[in-house]
Structure formats: structure tokens, C-alpha cells
Amino acid sequence: MAIAPDCADEFLDEMGYACSGIGDTFAYTLLRNYYSSEMDIRKGKLVAYRVIRDAVDIGAYGLGEPVDIWIIKVNGDIQISQLSENETMALNDVCLAWKEAEKAVLKV
């Protein structure tokens, strides 16, 4: 869900997503649990946000906001856009609810 700094696309072709940066090992591990090639962009943004936040929490404790997410669409032309602060804050709210739902499932 990211492009490597060297613009390598092997993972994009092979896996459908790629990660880069110091937390990429954590991100790849987390993405395996959530990724689907059938996922729409709305869910993809949520999964990307969750994975980035969790990877930062695991691999770089003490770091955090802001989380920047860029969307790259290729439909003949390439369109690149960055999520707004409001969109990112909304993803954070949904992500927190998602985590609370997971905790509720495990309560006995």
C-alpha cells in the first residue's frame, strides 16, 4: 500500500501491496491479516491507517501523529492525492472503534 523509496514494484506485482520504512517488517506482518485483493479503496484506507499506527506503536514507541496516507490511482492516467486531516482523524476514530470491538470479542 506504499511505494518503496527506490520505486521498486516487485512487491506490488507479487503481493498487491508494498511497504517501506523502518517499520516495514511489522507492516507486512500486520497486512497479512487484513489484505484482500477485492478490498475497496474505503476499506483499504482504513487498513492502511491501522497498519501504519500499529507498526509505529510496535516498532517506534513514542512516535505517532501525524499519519500521512497518499492514494495513487491508475486508470490510464495517474492520480495522486493525500488524505486530508479530517479524513485521517475520521480513520483514527473508526480504527479506535475497531480495536475496541476486537477487545470485546475476547472478553469472557
Q: 77 pairs with which residues across the strands? A: 75
pTM across the whole model: 0.75
User: Which grid coordinates are listed for 101?
Assistant: 470491538
**Ranges of each domain in the chain:** 10-106
Q: Does residue 32 contact residue 55 with C-beta atoms inside 8 Å?
A: no
Structural element, H or E, at residue 79:
strand 77-82
Distance CA 43, CA 77 (A): 23
Distance CA 91, CA 45 (A): 8
- Amino acid, res. 72: I
Residue-wise pLDDT tens digits, 59-96: 776 666 778 888 888 788 888 899 999 999 999 999 99
- What CATH class has 10-106? alpha beta
